[in-house]
A and B are shown apart, each in its own frame.
Chain A
Amino acid sequence: MRHLLSTKDLTRDEAIQILDIAEDMADVQNREVRKLPTLRGKTVVNLFFEDSTRTRISFEAAAKRLSADVINFSAKGSSVSKGESLKDTAQTLAAMGADGVVIRHSASGAPQVLAQSDWIDARIVNAGDGTHEHPTQALLDAFTMRRRLFPGASRGRDLDGVSVVIVGDILHSRVARSNLWLLRTLGATVTFVAPATLVPLGTASWPVDVSYDLDATLALTQPDVVMMLRIQSERMNAAYFPTAREYARQWGLDDERLGRLRPDSIVMHPGPMNRGLEISAGAADSAQSTVLEQVANGVSIRMAVLYLLLSGEREAQA
């Protein structure tokens, strides 16, 4: 693997390899010294054209725990806000000797454009591009599911037979897309639940069931996993649905719906949450919620990805 651009082109073996390395990385988190010397002397640039403090500090923590040097490049207040092109930014980073570039960009495909270009030779990690993909989020979600559903026996496993319901703004969600491709590769079944305005066109040809009715779907599938997606306030202004109250009533995970889930079902959310809109405080703070585990697991997954892409031994194998 040279870059991590999407989950769509990950094979089952590659995905399980990343998840298993993340298990090792998680073990390191429990040691007294939580730092590995693996990437000493390597430079990782966090190239964030879009604000995302949570994702950036997760990557930063991951790189630092592997002893890499980390440079944070945020578009705001930089040359980018003065009109510098992606090409010039990339060539600048190349000239500074970046070994890995973690890129977050509002334009779908920007990481792929960077990887295909001859502007920079570094390994590219997609940290979220437009409404396309967010592969490390999907990997950390799968990692979280595997650990919760198969405690103590998660290594080497896929998610065969696991049923996952993803609820909310599928249309604009790179998390939903990356999760779908990865979960299918790992053998899980996926249902999207959303108002029709927030379902992307053409999902009939995707390997997913689509439903508009959350209650019926929960009753029918008795899912192992319910994943709630963030609803952004600007969607309301664009008339994707009439009001926040109507949305919460129809598609929010409230306490009553939480009570109807199987006791061993887990509730996930990629954060940041809108409490009271797509998820109630009761659901967010319940024992079934994995929200904080997802954050912790994010560091392990990102360590695994950086390790795979940047460590010398792996390079020799590839």
Chain B
Amino acid sequence: MSDTSIRPGGTRSLLKGAMLPDGTVTDILIENGRIVSTAPGAGTGASGTVVIDAAGLVALPGLVDLHTHLREPGFEQSETVLTGTRAAAAGGFTSVFAMANTLPVSDTAGVVEQVQALGARAGYATVRPIGAVTVGLAGERLSEIGAMAQSRAAVRVFSDDGKCVHDSLLMRRALEYVKTFDGVIAQHAQDPRLTENAQMNEGALSSELGLKGWPAVAEESIIARDVLLAEHVGARLHVCHLSTAGSVDVIRWAKARGIAVTAEATPHHLLLTEDLVRSYDARFKVNPPLRRDEDVQALREGLADGTIDIVATDHAPHPRESKESEWDAASFGMVGLESALPVVQTALVDSGLLGWDDVARVLSNTPARIGRLPGHSHSFEDGSPANLTLVDPAARSTFTLDRLHGKSTNTPYEGMTLSGSVRWTFHHGFATLRDGELADPSEAATFASGELAAGPSGQGIAG
């Protein structure tokens, strides 16, 4: 690795008394963008060291979100790369994978390089663009996957998220073709014919409320087809936002069969149920929809037993007017970066299903591995990149809109009591979040420009 001592922000920080994911309470010494020691007492007394009292805080490797909508280019009224990565930093994330449904669609090298560059310039998190599987997300012909993979953005994850790659032959070809570049298809599993104009989970409640149903089988049947296709062509498959108990069963079966499939669940599908739709409050409108309590429990169990590999936010900002309307007219989606860790703690850690080491796995180590993001996540080994976050697990409070830092406020959690509070986030050693306060944009940009000048540091270059 190159010498990093000249970088701005390349000071020494000592995080005193933090608890590592494995339960060890120790000091963490950060210097020049690296974790240089996690031995107790390391670095004490050295001059110029910023000392942070981390007593009672849990240290996690910087969170990695494999499923974020940053909306730029094209939908800057909802979010930009800058505002979205500020929200990420506030939520403890040091890297986000930006979904391809931008305008223009991220289906060419030019667009993915632009998104990557905007992230690198802003400095709050490592932005990894996701490339579209098909041109314009139209589901008709493959986009220039090779050009995106070999661009400066080095794309490894391809997805038409928001739309399902529904054509079976096209999906087969996509799975095969991305193997060439060590890529993965992240499938939005939704049979389009079974979900025309669908509004909420199909069942007794959708029948009562008169909202068009989104049946579980529309997700499960696509996942079943895709795992078999992945097996047949020997490719890697990632399934986005699992939402039903049946989907967990299909993935469990596929993994037992040795198929190279990984799966994600969103925080909202791990906590919220369809009963919230009774209010016709469009903040609860999301795709795939909120499901039954049985589904929530099955997703939690799937995450605990490893069937589901990761938690990803599906952070989906929308402007106010697209949620202030009758249900049918409202947009699908919720913001989720700032609430992800509190929801995971509330739903899974407090209930004993996951330990903090599991949280590090499902929110950092494994998403980094699936997304082929080397040199970013870690297990606090000496020399690891200083991407980390400090969480106060004892905090418990009502979620309020002032905890959001993106452009949009379409959170479903306002007024709910959630555990845990993200206090500090370090990205390449730079404190993007400081005891709950975000770093100033100009300071982050200055740090980022120093990083860029110093050359690649694992950011964006898969190797």
A interface residues with partner B (beta carbon < 8 Å): 8, 85-87, 105-110, 112-113, 116, 129-133, 171, 174, 177, 200-206
Q: Considering the complex, which residues of chain B in the window 293-328 have a beta carbon less than 8 Å from any beta carbon of chain A?
A: 321, 324-328
Which single member of A113, A116, A129, A204 contacts B210 (CB below 8 Å)? A129
Q: Any chain A CB within 8 A of the CB of B211?
A: yes
State how many angstroms separate the Cβ of A240 from the closest Cβ of chain B: 14
Across-interface contacts of A201 in B (CB, < 8 A): 202-204, 206-207, 213, 215
Can you give 26 contacting A-B residue pairs, CB < 8 Å? A8-B208, A85-B325, A87-B325, A106-B328, A107-B326, A107-B327, A107-B329, A108-B210, A108-B211, A109-B211, A109-B327, A110-B280, A112-B279, A116-B281, A132-B209, A132-B210, A133-B210, A171-B207, A201-B202, A201-B203, A201-B206, A201-B213, A201-B215, A202-B205, A203-B204, A206-B207
State how many angstroms separate the Cβ of A16 from the closest Cβ of chain B: 23
Do A85 and B324 touch (CB < 8 A)? yes
How far is it, in angstroms, between the C-alpha of A146 and the C-alpha of B327 when the chains are bound? 36
How far is it, in angstroms, between the C-alpha of A108 and the C-alpha of B200 when the chains are bound? 12
Across-interface contacts of A112 in B (CB, < 8 A): 279-280
Closest 8 CB pairs of A and B: A202-B204, A132-B210, A109-B280, A200-B207, A108-B210, A131-B210, A107-B326, A107-B328
Across-interface contacts of A174 in B (CB, < 8 A): 210
How far is it, in angstroms, between the C-alpha of A201 and the C-alpha of B203 when the chains are bound? 5
How far is it, in angstroms, between the C-alpha of A167 and the C-alpha of B385 when the chains are bound? 68
How far is it, in angstroms, between the C-alpha of A202 and the C-alpha of B325 when the chains are bound? 27
Across-interface contacts of A133 in B (CB, < 8 A): 210
Contacts A110-B280, A206-B208 known; 18 new A-B pairs at CB < 8 A: A86-B325, A87-B321, A87-B324, A87-B325, A105-B326, A108-B209, A108-B327, A108-B328, A109-B211, A109-B326, A113-B281, A130-B328, A174-B210, A201-B206, A201-B207, A202-B204, A203-B204, A205-B204
Do A203 and B209 touch (CB < 8 A)? no
Most buried by A among B207, B215, B321, B329: B207
Q: Considering the complex, which residues of chain B in the window 176-200 have a beta carbon less than 8 Å from any beta carbon of chain A?
A: none
Which single member of B202, B207, B321 contacts A203 (CB below 8 Å)? B207
Number of A-B contacts (CB under 8 A): 76
Across-interface contacts of B204 in A (CB, < 8 A): 201-206
Across-interface contacts of B280 in A (CB, < 8 A): 108-110, 112-113, 116
State how many angstroms separate the Cβ of B192 from the closest Cβ of chain A: 15
State how many angstroms separate the Cβ of B217 from the closest Cβ of chain A: 11
Across-interface contacts of A202 in B (CB, < 8 A): 203-208
Most buried by A among B203, B204, B210, B324: B210
State how many angstroms separate the Cβ of A208 from the closest Cβ of chain B: 11
Across-interface contacts of A108 in B (CB, < 8 A): 209-211, 280, 327-328
Do A130 and B213 touch (CB < 8 A)? no
How far is it, in angstroms, between the C-alpha of A116 and the C-alpha of B321 when the chains are bound? 16
How far is it, in angstroms, between the C-alpha of A317 and the C-alpha of B280 when the chains are bound? 29
How far is it, in angstroms, between the C-alpha of A207 and the C-alpha of B456 when the chains are bound? 65
State how many angstroms separate the Cβ of A136 from the closest Cβ of chain B: 16
State how many angstroms separate the Cβ of A87 from the closest Cβ of chain B: 5
Do A113 and B328 touch (CB < 8 A)? no
How far is it, in angstroms, between the C-alpha of A312 and the C-alpha of B154 when the chains are bound? 70
Across-interface contacts of B215 in A (CB, < 8 A): 201
Across-interface contacts of A200 in B (CB, < 8 A): 207
Do B202 and A177 touch (CB < 8 A)? no
State how many angstroms separate the Cβ of B291 from the closest Cβ of chain A: 13
How far is it, in angstroms, between the C-alpha of A113 and the C-alpha of B202 when the chains are bound? 21
How far is it, in angstroms, between the C-alpha of A108 and the C-alpha of B280 when the chains are bound? 8
How far is it, in angstroms, between the C-alpha of A130 and the C-alpha of B213 when the chains are bound? 13
Instruction: Select from chain B the residue with minimum beta-carbon distance to A109.
Output: B280
Across-interface contacts of A206 in B (CB, < 8 A): 204, 207-208
Across-interface contacts of A87 in B (CB, < 8 A): 321, 324-325
Residue-by-residue, is B208-233 near A (CB-CB < 8 Å gives 1, otherwise 0)?
11110101000000000000000000
Do A109 and B209 touch (CB < 8 A)? yes
Across-interface contacts of B210 in A (CB, < 8 A): 108-109, 129-133, 174, 177
How far is it, in angstroms, between the C-alpha of A131 and the C-alpha of B202 when the chains are bound? 14
Instruction: Select from chain A the residue with minimum beta-carbon distance to B282.
Output: A113
Instruction: Select from chain B the residue with minimum beta-carbon distance to A172.
Output: B210
How far is it, in angstroms, between the C-alpha of A110 and the C-alpha of B326 when the chains are bound? 5
State how many angstroms separate the Cβ of B244 from the closest Cβ of chain A: 14
Across-interface contacts of B207 in A (CB, < 8 A): 171, 200-203, 206
